Amino acid sequence: AARQSRMAAFFRAV
């Protein structure tokens, strides 16, 4: 099954 990714995996904290 596919795993749910998180936003931080794509966009960096500023």
State in angstroms the smallest separation of the CB of 12 from another protein.
Answer: 6
Report in angstroms how near the CB of residue 1 gets to another protein at its nearest. Answer: 8
Spatial distance between the Cα atoms of 13 and 7, rounded to a whole number of angstroms: 10
Distance CA 14, CA 2 (A): 28
Binding mask 1-14 for another protein (x = CB under 8 A): -xxxxxxxxxxxxx
**Residues near another protein, by CB under 8 A:** 2-14
